Amino acid sequence: MLKKIPFLASPNCNQRPKGTDIDLIVLHAISLPDGKFQPDHIRDLFLNKLDCQVHPSFQDLEGVHVSAHFVVARNGDITQFVNTNQRAWHAGESTWLGRENCNDYAIGIEMVGDERKPFTQRQYQQTARLCKSLMRLYAQIQPERIVGHQDIAPSRKWDPGKQWDWDRFFTYLAASQGLKASIKV
């Protein structure tokens, strides 16, 4: 029996344009506040429940509505926030291979982390397993169509950043059998 990935429905999503093929995965890094790796604030941000008075840096997030399809915690736990067939709001203004609005055709995966600390082995393993499972669901997603946020919005984004070892990730991806869990499409 497949294990269920915990699902918390973010209101920050909508329908993809009719006839759009899902053919890209965008990897991100997130920490709230900066340099802190507890996923609770990230969860609250994606659910529009973040108390922006808790930390001075959160004031910039007042009224911000964002989401990703998945979050991978430091211990490898995965939480899903948006069905994969829906458009999550993770990429913002973006372009991949001349095609704009990556949210229309991409799946967004946030990894809890930042540009200063290495990601964990469990994050590499679980992100690779998740990507392998998504590649099975969406045949147009191939390894070369798994990119970083900095690749689709280079003038505004740095993530997942220099601490994300792409060679290590692709080694795990090649060896992965995917998740033994169900994904909400």
Residue 144 a catalytic site member: no
Give the whole-angstrom CA distance, residue 174 versus residue 5: 22
Residue type, 157: K
Q: Which listed residue (62, 93, 100, 110) is catalytic?
A: 110
SS (H, E, C) 27-75: EEEECCCCCCCCCHHHHHHHCCCCCCCCCHHHHHHCCCCCCCCEEECCC
In DSSP terms, 152 is beta-bridged to none
Phi-psi region of 122 (alpha: psi -120 to 50; beta: other; left: phi over 0): alpha
State the catalytic residues: 110
